[in-house]
Amino acid sequence: MSVRTRTDVLLLVAFCGFLFFYGLGSFGLIGADEPRYAQIAREMLARRDFITPTLQGKPWLEKPALYYWQAALAYRVEQALQPVAGVEQALQPAGDGITDQAARLPSAFDAVLLIVAVYLFLRRFRPGSQMDGALITAGCAGVIGFARAASTDMPLAAMFSVALFGWYAWYESRRRLPLALFYIFLALATLAKGPVALFLAFVILLLFAALKRDWRILLRTLWTPSIFLFLLIALPWYLAVQMRNPDFFRVFILQHNLARFSHDVYHHPQPFWYFIPVLCLGLMPWSLWLALAVLEKLRLAWSEGLEAFSHPDDSRGLFLLLWLLVPVIFFSLSQSKLPGYILPSIPAGALLVSEYLAARRGDEPTAEETRAGEIKVPLPLAVLHALLCGALLFAALMAASAILNRRLPWGTGTYLAAAIAAVVACGVAAALRSRPGIRLVRFATMVPILLGVAAVLRLAAPAIDARFSPRPIARVILGFSHEDVPVAVYHTNREQEYGLEFYLNRPTQHYDWGQLPPQGHLLVAAPNSLPALADFLRGRKPSYLTTIPAQNLELYWISASPGTP
C-alpha cells in the first residue's frame, strides 16, 4: 500500500468515524419510522424468525427485511459486548440491552460502504479525484442525516450505488466480475426497499443505451449466471414471506408500492417540484457546484447533441446525470413524497461535483498554471459558496435555541453564532480565491461541515432529544415504575406512541380507540385531558404524576377497574 493510499485510508476513517458514528445516540429515535423499524428488528431477533417482520406480534409487511437483518445483527453484537464494556442497564429501558444507537448502526455502516465504493470507483476511472469524490459524498447533508437514521433509505442508497458502480465498471472493462457485483448489490437493494431498485436501474440503463445508440449494451448486461445470482439472493425471502403471509403481495406490492405511487394513501402530498429543493438540501453545501455541473452537461448536450457523449469521460458524465435525474423525476410523479425517496440520487450528484472540480483544476496542472492563478475559483462563486457554508454553520449553531424557543431568538448568542459563521465563511472564500483555490475546495468546505455536525451533536442534540424523541418520556415513566405495567396514551401523536413501544418494549393501549386496560396503568395524555375522560374512567381514580413540558404531555396513574384483582 502506497503512502498516499495509507493517508487516504486514515483520512476516510477519521471523517467517516466522526460524521457517521460519533454521537450516534446523542438524541433518541425521532419520527415514526425510526422507532417502528427498530422495534421490528428487536422482535425479529427475539422470535428468531427472520422471514416475517412483526410489530407488537403482528405481521408488518410494508418493507423488505434487509434493514431488520442488519439491525438484529447489531443488537446481537451489542448484547454480546455489553458485559465486557460495562454498559449501564439504565440506558436500556427495556432491560434487554438494545439501544437506539445500535438501531442506527446499519445505516452508518452502509454509508461507509458507499464512501468506500465511491473512492474505489474514482480511483479506477478518475485517478487523482478519489478523495474529492469520497469526502464530497460523505459531506453531503443527506448522506450524513440518513447515515444517522434507523431507516431503510441508506441501505437502499448504498446497495443501489454499489450496484451501479459495478455496472459502469463492467461497461468500461467488459469484465465479468463487476457485472456479477452489479447483480449481487441490486439484489441487496431489492431486499432493502423492494422492486423500485430494479425498476430505477432498468430505466437508467435503458436511457443510457438509447442515448449512446447502442442497444447491445442491454443485451450484454443480461448475463445468465449473474441473473441467476440475483434470483438466488433476492427471491428466497420474497417466496418465503409470501408463503407464510398470503397477504404479502397485496400489502407490499399493491398497497405500499403501486397504490403509494398512484394515490396519496399515507398522507404525504407534496407539489410536483418538491424534490428539487430536497435534492439541493440533500447535497448541501455542494448544491451550487452541482448546479454548475448539471448545467454544463446539459449545455454540452444541447450544443453537440448525442455526439457530446461519445468520449469515455463524457459517457461517465452521461451515466451520472441519468443516475441523478431518473429517481428525482420518477418520484416527482408519485402522489406520495418523502425526502428519503431520492437519497439514491445523492451519490451521483456528489460525483458530478467531483467530476466538475477535476475538470476545472486538471489532474496535474503545470507550475506555470498554478503560478498564473488559472485554477482560482471565480469571485462570485467563491463568495456564494462561502456564504452557503456560513449559513449552514449558523443554522447548526442556532438549532438548539430555535428548537427550544420555536423561533430564532435575537441576543448575544445569536450575534456570536453569526460572527463565528462569518469568520468561517471569510476563511472559505479566502481559500477559494487563493491561487490553488480549486484544489482547496474540498478541505475548505469540510471545515464548516465538521464544525456544523459538532455543533448539532454538542449543542442541539439535547434539545432535539427533549423536543422530538420519546426517549425522555420513557425515562420519566421508568422513574415512577420499572415494573412492566401497561402504558396507555390519549391524544398523543404516532411518533410518541411508536417511540414508547420501542423504549419500553411493550405495546401501548389507545384510549382514543376505546382501549382501557382493566388493571392499574400509566396514562400519557395531552394536557387537561381528565375532564374529557371523566365518563371513560368512571369508578377509577386518576392520580397526577408529572408534566413533560417539552412535549406538552402529562403523566397519570390510573387505578384498576373495580373488581379487577
The three grid cell numbers given for residue 141, joined into one nine-digit string = 447533508
What are the angstrom distances between the C-alpha of 310 and each of 122, 296, 302, 321, 504?
20, 16, 14, 15, 59
Q: Angle formed by the axes of helices 176-193 and 196-212, to 10°? A: 140
User: How far from 502 is each of 92, 151, 375, CA to CA, in Å?
Assistant: 10, 14, 53
Question: What's the one-letter identity of residue 564?
Answer: T
Residue with cell 395524555: 525
Q: Which three cell numbers stand for residue 478?
A: 421508568
Amino acid, single-letter form, for residue 523: L
pTM equals: 0.92
**Would you tell me the crossing angle of helices 130-138 and 346-361 to the nearest 10 degrees?**
140
User: Each residue's pLDDT tens digit in the chain (565 positions)?
Assistant: 678 888 899 999 999 999 999 999 999 999 999 999 999 999 999 999 999 999 999 999 999 999 999 999 999 998 888 765 554 444 455 567 799 999 999 999 999 999 999 999 999 988 888 999 999 999 999 999 999 999 999 999 999 999 999 999 999 988 999 999 999 999 999 999 999 999 999 999 999 999 888 899 999 999 999 999 999 999 999 999 999 999 999 888 888 777 666 655 555 567 888 999 999 999 999 999 999 999 988 887 777 666 666 665 578 889 999 999 999 999 998 878 889 999 999 999 999 999 999 888 764 444 444 444 457 788 999 999 999 999 999 999 999 988 888 788 888 889 999 999 999 999 999 999 887 778 889 889 999 999 999 999 999 999 999 999 999 999 999 888 777 889 999 999 999 999 999 999 999 999 988 888 888 999 999 998 888 888 778 888 899 999 999 999 999 999 988 766 5
Contact 32, 119 (CB under 8 A): no
Question: What are the φ/ψ torsions at residue 523 (nearest 5 degrees)?
Answer: -120, 125
- Give buried/exposed letters for 25-43 (b at 16+ CB in 10 A, else e): bbbbbbbebbbbbbbbbbb
